[in-house]
Amino acid sequence: MLFTYLGFFGFTLFVIFYTTYKLRKDKFTTSKGYFLAGKSLTGPIIAGSMILTNISTEHLIGMNGSSYKNGIIVIAWEVTSAIALVIAAIFFIPKFIKMGLTTIPEFLEKRFDGAIRSVVAFLLMSSFVITLLPIVLYSGAINIESVFDFSVIFNISKEESLIYTVLVIGIIGSLYAIFGGLKAVAYSDSLNGVGLMLGGLLIPVIALFQIGDGDFFSGLSTVYNFAPDKFDIIGKPDSVLPFSVLFTGLMINQLYFWGMNQAIVQRAFGAKNLVEAQKGLIYTGVLKLFVPIIIVLPGLISYYYFQDKYYDTPDLIYPLLVKKVLPTYLYGFFAAVILGAVLSTFNSVLNSASTIFCLDIYKKNINKNVSDSNLVKYGKISSVVLAIIAIAVAPMVAYAPEGLYQLLQQLNGVFFIPISSIIIAGIFFKQINTKGAKAGLFFGFVFYILTTFILQLDIHFVHLWGIEFVLNFIIMFLVSKLFPTAEDHPEMDKGTEEKSWSKVNIAGIILVLLTILIYILLS
């Protein structure tokens, strides 16, 4: 147990001291310094922070639980991200950076009006605090509890232990976001990213060596031959993720997440220049092709060990695999990696939620003349309030019937598809006016809640995303045609065109081809 605690506190304290050292000369007294890291981030730091904001315990637990139950088809959530990142690097980010954006809702005001900015800001903040952050906290608590068994040590119930662990993780994560802003988040993310890659790789590598009696490839062959159907990447129509969703709603979701999601693109907004922002997105795309080794393969290995014993509780499978294959002296390091993954997503999303509140809600609607220093102060206060809400909601996501990751994606659709449709309309279709955008936003929000959670139509929710996206555009075009308005948006074309990365197109083509190759090789 001594090695467990040494490994845990050793790595955790190293990340804290490293981040503190890197930020020792920074003064976070301006909104640019606090919310955009002083426009100082480079490609590798952006990629490390993006991947850690994205990958957390809802992936380690949720995705591995889903691959254990449903097979390798869930890899689609990951590898198709590379295509979305290419599109974002070439088409979205240059436009956003030219306009000098700090937040995504700010774009909507420049393209449409202030009301739509405020509504979307509220929806985004709600999606972070009510869906993503609670699931991240709860899945993190499951993993930490599985390593340390706090319920046994303190003689309390499992449920109490999880609640206390959620509370502690939430407080630590909040401190990063509150006192260091985006720069502290980005630097700690990069270091935790290295830890996650190393720690995450340990599990499948050790397991396959054990299964193969010292031969890694023999172990992989054994796992494959045990259940070859689990390795069929083409999802059947009645599966949890049919192959057809790649051509309907999945890519829309990916485009939103990697090109319009504040928690992700805020790192690109904090880049030194457009070249570094584009490099960060492309590097992230490369990493996403390798991430399934950590968040999909362990679930497939778990099926070899446990068969269908845990089909009703797939989110327990990853902690069980960790305990089965990992040497006890590495428990502490692995727990620190898990904590780092949780903190990285929690503090990143909390920072973005706070940014949206301060710039899109408080400064826009409450106090237009607020000073920079006061805006930073309110950023810290809002982080505390939002963290408390997320911590309170976290225990409510326990035992999601289809697993935490599936629950997260279903809830995401409430916010992502309506917002993505009006942003894409705003970028590419000048004929869609403000009335049309508002109608599309309202229709999409109501349509998804009605069809998914009230009528519970027998249509896969990712297909519903695609249907909703098309209907949103029909509504936007119709309303814009029926209620024409003379609109002029001069700020859309303002700003200085920055030089693009010379290799962005060729790097993007290679990434897209590699994604297609993965499907060809595994089909």
pLDDT of residue 356: 87
- Spatial contact of 444 and 421, defined as CB atoms under 8 Å apart: yes
Mean pLDDT of 227-249: 90
Residues 6+ apart with CB under 8 A from 413: 249, 253, 448, 452, 461, 464, 465, 468
Mean pLDDT of 364-374: 84
Query: Rounded CA gap, 163 and 161, in Å?
Result: 5
DSSP 3-state percent helix, strand, coil across the chain (nearest 5): 80, 0, 20
Greater confidence (284 vs 11) lies with 284
What pLDDT, in 10s, does the model give residues 39-77?
778 898 888 888 877 887 778 888 899 899 999 999 999
pLDDT of residue 426: 92
For all residues of the chain together, what is the average pLDDT? 85
Poorest-confidence range of 84-93, 326-335, 496-505, 513-522? 326-335
What pLDDT, in 10s, does the model give residues 328-358?
888 888 888 778 778 777 877 887 888 888 8
Q: pLDDT-derived band of residue 101, with 50, 70 and 90 as boundaries?
A: confident
Mean pLDDT of 459-485: 93
Q: Among residues 459, 424, 460, 461, which one has the least CA distance to residue 441?
A: 424
Helix (H, G, I), strand (E, B) or coil at 155: coil
pLDDT of residue 178: 66
pLDDT of residue 182: 55
- Spatial contact of 143 and 338, defined as CB atoms under 8 Å apart: yes
Give the other-Cβ count within 10 Å of 456's Cβ.
Answer: 9
What pLDDT, in 10s, does the model give residues 12-44?
777 777 777 766 665 555 555 555 555 778 898
pLDDT of residue 189: 67
What is the 8-class DSSP label of residue 271? B
Mean pLDDT of 150-168: 86
Residues 6+ apart with CB under 8 A from 404: 58, 61, 62, 65, 135, 138, 139, 315, 397
Query: Rounded CA gap, 188 and 386, in Å?
Result: 21
* pLDDT of 435 higher than 80: yes
Q: pLDDT-derived band of residue 139, with 50, 70 and 90 as boundaries?
A: confident
Residue with tokens 């979307």: 120
Q: Going from the N-terminus, what domains does the chain have, and what CATH number goes with each?
A: 1-18+49-522 (1.20.1730.10)
pLDDT of residue 19: 72
* Highest-confidence segment of 235-244, 371-380, 428-437: 428-437
Poorest-confidence range of 155-164, 169-178, 287-296, 424-433? 169-178
Query: Rounded CA gap, 115 and 101, in Å?
Result: 17
Provide DSSP, 14-75.
Answer: HHHHHHHHHTTT----SHHHHHHGGG-B-HHHHHHHHHHHH-SHHHHTHHHHHHHHH-GGGG
| The pair of three-digit structure tokens given for residue 275, joined into one six-digit string | 């070249």
Provide DSSP, 162-225.
Answer: HHHHHHHHHHHHHHHHHHHHHHHHHHHHHHHHHHHHHHHHHHHHHHHHHHTTT-HHHHHHHHHH
What pLDDT, in 10s, does the model give residues 378-431?
888 888 888 899 888 887 776 554 555 566 677 777 888 899 999 999 998 989
pLDDT of residue 183: 61
Q: Among residues 23, 22, 85, which one has the least CA distance to residue 509?
A: 85
Read off the pTM: 0.84
What is the 8-class DSSP label of residue 371? -
Residues 6+ apart with CB under 8 A from 121: 103, 105, 356, 357, 360, 361, 364
Residue with tokens 């192959």: 243
How much is the CA Rg of the chain, to the nearest whole Å? 22
Our CA angle for 444, 446, 449, nearest 5°, is 105
Greater confidence (162 vs 345) lies with 162
pLDDT of residue 38: 59
